[in-house]
Amino acid sequence: MAATKIPKKVQDRLVAGLKRYQPIVGKLRERDISEADTVTVIKDMLTDIFGYDKYTELTSEQQIRGTFCDLAIKVEGKIYYLAEVKSAGTNLNDNHLRQAVNYGAHQGIEWVFLSNAIEWKVYRIKFGQPIDYEEVFSFDVTKLSSRSGDDLNKLFMLCRESISSDSLTEYHRHAQIVNRFIVAEILQSETMVATLRRELRKLFDGVRATEDDLRTILVTDVMKRDTIDGDPPKAAKAAVKKAVAALARKAAKNAAG
């Protein structure tokens, strides 16, 4: 996905923030600071790097009645992100998300991030039965480069300035489409296999191969097994089928009009 255009003022803040906090964050694990102290560091980072007002837009657990999350990012009266914070020495895993996801699901809050100040994992809650969630992207602050557009873009998507542009939602949509499962499904389509057969016949005179032969080679010898079997490939198949049907409806509508 092409990097979002980051305003110069924001980019300067991101670069300065990385320069300031990477040495600090890099030492947190060996210092084995407490969860409460980690929350303090993350609040500072959300202010100095991501541009939120520490006193009006960052709400801590004891200030949110009935919730069980460590932080909430609240802008103009609306909670946009919930944060589950663990101590800097804790290895993050999905089990740490349960409280924040449960609260977010009941309050209609779509985004949750899990962090120990070093690692940041961003998740989207899937409102269904049962409630589910998926990781959208993650990063290790100590490994980011201020010269990398991709790294700065990841930071920018969590910035105060990105809330109005909905760039996180757009990034998630792009990631759902441009991935190995969708590509594998499209490669198996009649159109792609027919194109492959034509290219073979054009390049190698006298060579004959059926579309079934080529599809078998693709599935058994070319593509990785995890792009063929399992839930993600099934979801990819459904997504491609839905897109094909939508395209057909659009073509029929245009023809009728």
Per-residue pLDDT band at 61 (split at 50, 70, 90): low
With beta carbons less than 8 A apart as the criterion, state whether 82 and 64 touch.
no
Report in angstroms the alpha-carbon separations of 214 from 78, 201, 217, 229.
53, 12, 5, 18
Report whether pLDDT(176) > 80: no
Query: Which secondary structure element, helix H or strand E, spans residue 138, and what is its range?
Result: strand 132-140
Report whether pLDDT(117) > 90: yes
Per-residue pLDDT band at 5 (split at 50, 70, 90): confident
Report whether pLDDT(63) > 60: no
Per-residue pLDDT band at 62 (split at 50, 70, 90): very low
pLDDT at 15 (0 to 100): 97
pLDDT at 97 (0 to 100): 83
Q: Which domains does the chain have, with CATH numbers?
A: 8-165 (3.90.1570), 180-256 (no CATH)
Tokens (6 digits) for 23:
């040495």
192-197: long-range contacts, CB 8 A cutoff, minimum separation 24 = 193/218
Q: What is the pLDDT of residues 179-237, one digit of tens each?
A: 889 999 999 999 999 999 999 999 998 888 999 999 999 999 999 999 999 988 898 89
With beta carbons less than 8 A apart as the criterion, state whether 239 and 177 touch.
yes
Q: What is the pLDDT of residues 7-23, one digit of tens each?
A: 999 999 999 999 999 99
- In terms of Cα–Cα distance, which of 86, 75, 166 is closest to 124? 166
Q: What is the mean pLDDT of residues 115-130?
A: 90
With beta carbons less than 8 A apart as the criterion, state whether 228 and 236 touch.
no
- Please indicate, yes or no, whether the overall pTM of this predicted structure exceeds 0.85: no
